[in-house]
Chain A
Amino acid sequence: MLALVSPALLVILLLIVLPVGWLAWQSIYHDGFTLEHYRRILSEDIYWRSFALTFEISLFVTVLALVLGYPVAYAANAVPKAWSVVILALVLLPFWTSVLVRAYAWLALLQRTGVINQFLRYIDVIGEPLALVHNTFGTVVATVHILLPFMVLPLYATMQKIPNDLMQAGASLGASPAFTFFRVFLPLSLPGVLAGSTMVFVLCLGFYITPELLGGGRTVMVSMLVSRNVELYNQFGAASAVAVVLLLSVLLIFFVVSRFISLDRVLGQK
């Protein structure tokens, strides 16, 4: 059995374990051991601010995705089968569209001469085009859009397992629909909330394409810090150290979450 699994394992070892290990090594070793790169992350403003901004944006995106995703998952779970198929199809359609295509679509929608600005000027709501993109706003709008399915799908899967009898029991005992929702349904859906939020938050931490294309160079997320250090400045050690801190953050989050729910639940999507 080990022989059967070894080719796949070899690919994983050579193409992800080794490269990440190499990064870790490079972050502390350059003609001798050094913690210089980590010291810089802690002391230099640009690194610090980028990490803070990335966590801030990720938190904001996660909350938005939860607020937008919960009603959709709830509706998909509550409506008759035929309708829930439609809702899920509409969630999955963008899910399987290339991230790059969706970033392009948001550029087309949000830019100064984009669809939304043209429409708003056409109906005379605004005189000057709004700055909707090449800033944090555009990044968040597109990132929430791209990550929303990762919230809706685990939420829906969890809600599917909540027995309907419980709500009926609540109603038969005289509880209002709102009361049964908040006291019975919502608590039972929390594992889905945690699974979805974890995935969205973690994916957002490492997001690259969207902030690069829609952030206009001002919203420097950690991923961009890594790529700039490699592509522009040839600062491999610095890039590696930033990558290691990012990876440790992600692994720590997964570890903490795994104390509460099974990781299969978080990763089971897509």
Chain B
Amino acid sequence: MKSLSPARIALIVACALVLVYLILPVLIIVPISFSSARFLTFPPPSLSLRWYQQYFSNSAWMQATQVTLIVAAFTVVIATPLGVAAAYAISQSKLRIMRMIHMALLLPLVVPIIITAVGIFFIYARVGLVATLPGLVLANVMLGLPYVVISVLAGLQSFDPAQEMVARSLGMNRFRSFFAVTLPQIKSSVVAGAIFAFISAMDETVIALFISGGRYQPLTKRMFTALRDEIDPTIAAISTLMTAASFMLVLVASARQKKAA
């Protein structure tokens, strides 16, 4: 770097302050979760695992965790093939309507989530999907689709379709040539898209607030309800675990995407 002019110093200080603002809230939950105190005290008087114990020994939290993991897993299993097929069709077809379909598939990113949530609640109420597992999965598949489509489309952009033509000219049908030639080369972006869909399902809160209930409440809904009542450090423990899980998955996904690029 060149000499440090006052403008440069100001820039560095401003940038550092903003980064602290960004990162501090994410980090602060870790010491709170390991604190022995019932009420927030900072720094924690002593370290303990009691909030983690509380989480793992509470059957309501455990059931909610199970619901979250099941919903996220089903979401990935369904949204990934649907998203890959759609992205492939969009990249191959020259039909004008494909452009519109592409935009339609991105709708979940455009429509404010509260509107989607209330709308789905009304529809589910009519067909009896409120407070069911399939209802939660379907809603999350819809939310996860854009992530898979965007990621796979990006992957397909750097793939040369001529390769698939070659495979087909050698006698493979379209289906086989896709699995034998195309899929292995876009594998990284497929995995990245699947991971983003998983994280999206894991973090989804607003729709769950409206449509989940009874036995099938995901972790986020229980956390939200608990947060409205009191600040229980158990939530810090859960938050720490959730954040750690997200980071791990994002690391895997971005390593994958790097490999693809």
Chain A's nearest CB lies how many Å from the CB of B45?
12
Contact residue among A4, A13, A15 (Cβ-Cβ distance under 8 Å from B85):
A4
User: What interface size band does chain B fall in?
Assistant: 35 or more
Query: In the complex the two chains form, what is the Cα distance from A72 to B231 in whole Å?
Result: 32
Chain B's nearest CB lies how many Å from the CB of A35?
20
Q: Does A34 contact B (CB under 8 A)?
A: no
Task: Tell me whether A75 and B22 are in contact (CB under 8 A).
Answer: no
Interface 9-mer from B48-56, B59-67, B108-116, B156-164: B108-116
Contact residue among B86, B104, B122, B150 (Cβ-Cβ distance under 8 Å from A23):
B122
Task: Tell me whether B26 and A93 are in contact (CB under 8 A).
Answer: yes
Contact A213 B228, CB 8 Å, known A98-B220, A247-B115: yes
Chain A's nearest CB lies how many Å from the CB of B175?
11
Interface 9-mer from A38-46, A111-119, A188-196: A111-119
Contact A15 B115, CB 8 Å, known A104-B223, A250-B110: no
Q: From DSSP, what is the main secondary structure of chain B's interface residues?
A: helix
Contact A9 B223, CB 8 Å, known A115-B40, A145-B21, A226-B118: no
Contacts of A2 in B (CB 8 A): 89, 93, 95, 97
Q: Does A59 contact B (CB under 8 A)?
A: no
Q: Does B180 contact A (CB under 8 A)?
A: no
Contacts of A186 in B (CB 8 A): none
Query: In the complex the two chains form, what is the Cα distance from A103 to B205 in whole Å?
Result: 12
Chain A's nearest CB lies how many Å from the CB of B41?
7
B1-36 near A? 1/0 per residue, CB < 8 Å: 100010100011011001101111110110010000
Query: In the complex the two chains form, what is the Cα distance from A246 to B113 in whole Å?
Result: 11
Chain A's nearest CB lies how many Å from the CB of B15?
4
Q: From DSSP, what is the main secondary structure of chain A's interface residues?
A: helix
Closest residue of chain A to B226 (Cβ to Cβ) is A104
Query: In the complex the two chains form, what is the Cα distance from A241 to B149 in whole Å?
Result: 31
Q: Does B76 contact A (CB under 8 A)?
A: no
Q: Does A187 contact B (CB under 8 A)?
A: no
Task: Tell me whether A4 and B236 are in contact (CB under 8 A).
Answer: no
Can you add 12 more A-B contacts, CB < 8 Å, to A104-B227, A268-B150? A7-B86, A11-B145, A14-B138, A15-B138, A96-B247, A97-B242, A97-B246, A100-B239, A104-B231, A105-B25, A142-B25, A209-B224
7 nearest interchain CB pairs? Answer: A206-B112, A19-B119, A105-B25, A8-B86, A4-B89, A15-B142, A1-B93
A-B contact pairs, 12 of them (CB 8 A): A1-B98, A8-B105, A11-B82, A16-B120, A94-B25, A113-B40, A145-B25, A148-B18, A149-B22, A209-B206, A246-B112, A247-B112
Which residues on B are within 8 Å of A, measured CB to CB?
Answer: 1, 5, 7, 11-12, 14-15, 18-19, 21-26, 28-29, 32, 39-42, 82-83, 85-86, 88-90, 92-93, 95, 97-98, 101, 104-116, 118-123, 138-139, 141-142, 145, 147, 149-150, 196, 199, 202-203, 205-206, 209-210, 220, 223-224, 227-228, 231, 235-236, 239, 242-243, 246-247, 250
